Amino acid sequence: MNREESVQHFLDLIRKSRYGKFKLYIGMIAGVGKSYRMLQEAHELLDNGVDVQIGYIETHGRTGTEALLEGLPLIPRRKIFYKGKELEEMDLEAIVRSHPEIVIVDELAHTNVEGSRNEKRWQDVMDLLSEGINVISAVNIQHIESLNEEVQGISGIEVKERIPDSVLEEADEVVNIDLTADELITRLKAGKIYRPEKIQTALTNFFRIENILQLRELALKEVALRVEKQVENEVVANVGVRHEKFLACISSHEKTPRRIIRKAARLATRYNTSFVALYVQTPRESTDRIELASQRYLLNHFKLVAELGGEVVQVQSKDVLGSIVETCKEKQITTVCMGSPSFRLPQSLFMILKYRKFVSKLAQGNIDLIILA
């Protein structure tokens, strides 16, 4: 689809519903041209007589991007004093009052200044859509919640600002902005992404060739996945196909449960289905005995499940493995995701036998088992 056809297709989508339509550009890394492309599209829409306005754009001082702002209607930002400094945020109320047909909102994963209506900008976008305002926005692949661990494994950096995968589910169109690694490095060296003093640091850290290639692969796969889901929802009738449903077995530990949750969420997205997170509360973690740190980890896990569109199931039992089997029956689970079991003396032989019985029961119920290292 060429650029003119893409713009026309988006306009056709807009007219089908009073609820705002949402177009999302995804990039593999900073500097691939997401903001630039959104401003190009804004000019094309304006030339076609569409009421399009800029709600928020971040040029990062890039000359080409700043030049494209000329001639586009901008909604002034809201000034906020926070900790002795004057900061600027997108003015959500002003956009709602102006009620343009389409608004451009950059930096979707941004965290708003304390005191704003919403904590995150993606929540602002959801509010705009509910007001019937159509939104074009952009995000980099490293900001998607369920990919957090993969991105950290690639880059060695934990990205703090993230958006739930449910935000992508709301998008009517997801478009990849792609560059080859060589093209991106050329842009970086030419000073088109960062100021000269930051270029070498970027080259030796996040912008290494191996990082770019892996992030590019993630971005391409993510957009392909979203297109595939759209085809399944709108074109193909999957008659007679096994309906997949995933179970994430979680505990009160700090890190492993988050990996398991994200894995189950990604699989659920891949199969266009849902997932359940199961926490079995044993007597040693009863309300009056559980440690405060463990309690905090659990709440964070439950919050992550909700953000990724899953359902939390909590049961009280001494028999963790038995509870997993029962939950699989009740929730019609087809695949269980769990961490690697640890067997400690002196009960190790008993636990090994019990675990083998558990795996056998899953197999008898035609339930797949995925063990995360």
Model pLDDT, residue 235: 59
Residue 81: pLDDT band (50, 70, 90) is confident
Q: pLDDT tens digits, residue range 287-309?
A: 888 899 999 999 999 999 998 98
Model pLDDT, residue 195: 86
Residue 12 pLDDT exceeds 90: no
Q: pLDDT tens digits, residue range 48-74?
A: 999 999 999 998 888 889 999 999 999
Q: pLDDT tens digits, residue range 254-266?
A: 889 999 999 999 9
Residue 16 pLDDT exceeds 60: no
Residue 84: pLDDT band (50, 70, 90) is confident
Model pLDDT, residue 240: 46
Model pLDDT, residue 15: 57
Long-range contacts of residues 90-97, Cβ cutoff 8 Å, at least 24 apart = 90/55, 90/56, 90/121, 90/124, 91/55, 92/116, 92/117, 92/118, 92/124, 92/127, 92/128, 93/117, 95/53, 95/55, 95/128, 95/133, 96/127, 96/128, 96/131, 96/133
- Average pLDDT value over all residues in the chain: 89
What is the model's pTM?
0.72
Model pLDDT, residue 48: 93
Q: pLDDT tens digits, residue range 145-186?
A: 999 889 989 988 888 999 999 899 899 999 999 999 999 999
Residue 9: pLDDT band (50, 70, 90) is confident
Residue 239 pLDDT exceeds 50: no
Measured between alpha carbons, how far is 313 from 310 in angstroms, rounded to an integer?
10
Model pLDDT, residue 264: 94
- Among 46-55, 105-114, 196-205, 224-233, the least confident range: 224-233
Phi, psi of 266 (to 5 degrees): -65, -40
